[in-house]
Amino acid sequence: MGNKNNIEIIEIGPRDGFQNVTEFIPTEKKKEIIERLIEAGVKRMQLTSFVSPKHIPQMQDAEEIVKYFINKYKDIRFFALVPNYRGAKRAFDIGLREITYVISVSEGHNRANVNRSVDESFEELKKIIEEFPEMYVNLDAATVFGCPFDGEVTYDQVEQYVKKAVDIGITTINLCDTIGVANPEQVKKVVENLLIKFPNIEFHIHIHDTRNMGMLNSYVAIESGIKHIQASIGGMGGCPFAPGASGNLSTEDFIYMLDKIKVDTGIDFEKLLSVAKECKKTIPGVYSGHHINIDENLICSF
């Protein structure tokens, strides 16, 4: 079993959750929610994504959001998602020094999500790493546990994918259950094997709650040795290019569980719950305290 001390919860709601809201959320409202997440104790957060405003209007204020927070909070680890080289350059030019790039393990989903082959995506990732050496680049590995287009994803596929990423210099990889099909035994096997074979890589886990498995699979990941869990306030988010996918692991629900089993994350549950209630009250599309009614956008929530 993994050591359940020093578990880091990474908040992804301001990107993954907000992105799936059709009606534009005023920039000041986004700032208010992010400020309150910081006040609740969140220390690492995905702020936004540098995508085409034409395709995803919700992210049109990416530069303003990033500039505001990286200048105000020097002790918080902020990062953003980028789908391509252009997005990486925008992030770098505004002063951000940590990004996430997305590549699916499966060919079918990668083409649906970013209209490229897996090899083409890795070539662009290599270019980003080479041209922005000051940028810390995380890799989101989509469809690790199954693909809506190609079906089963084998462990050998995942291992070869990770090896390819490591060979070009990636040191942080986020294992994403894009459509929420993972089961506890699968999570245990994948995580334990990868941690043994790639001991110098920082692995994260990102579980969708499609079949109400988010809490269980994320907990199993911790038991198997994962130290970094991605979650979204209110369970907001989803994957428009993964048919059947629903929202993300709810940050407040997971913090509640960790509090009960005496795992200290440094995040205040009551303050976090207050933020979730505010999101439900003021952001169009939030319902039942969790999840977003998804409209078609481009970059998947992994």
In a domain, 302, yes or no: no
Report yes or no on 182 lying in a domain: yes
**103 and 121 in contact (C-beta within 8 Å)?**
yes
Evaluated on CA atoms 49, 42, 234, 230, the torsion sign reads: positive
**Is residue 268 a part of any domain in this protein?**
yes
CATH of the domain at 66: 3.20.20.70
- Rounded Cα–Cα distance for residues 249 and 101 (Å): 20
pTM assigned to the model: 0.92
Residue 2 resides in a domain = no
Q: Tell me whether residue 300 is in a domain.
A: no
Q: What is the tally of structural domains in the chain?
A: 1
Q: What is the pLDDT of residues 39-50, one digit of tens each?
A: 999 999 999 999
CA torsion 174-179-180-181 (nearest 10°) is -110
pLDDT tier at 144 (50, 70, 90 boundaries)? very high
Query: Is there a domain that residue 240 lies in?
Result: yes
Q: What is the pLDDT of residues 174-195, one digit of tens each?
A: 999 998 899 999 999 999 999 9
Mode of pairing for the β-strands spanning 286-287 and 290-292: antiparallel
**279 is a catalytic site residue:** no
Residue 265 exposure: Cα atoms within 13 Å on the Cβ side: 30
**Which residues span the domain enclosing 148?**
8-292
Distances (CA, A) of 261 to 217, 222, 249, 254, 258: 16, 13, 18, 11, 5
Tell me how far apart the alpha carbons of residues 234 and 208 are, in angstroms, rounded to a whole number: 13
Query: Choosing from 147, 239, 279, 300, which is the catalytic residue?
Result: 239
Q: Give the integer Cα–Cα distance in Å for 59 and 45.
A: 16
In a domain, 299, yes or no: no
Instruction: Give the separation between CA 90 and CA 51, rounded to whole angstroms.
Output: 9
For residue range 191-236, what is the model confidence (pLDDT) as tens digits?
999 999 999 999 999 999 888 899 999 999 999 999 999 999 999 9
In this prediction, residues 109-127 reach a mean pLDDT of 96
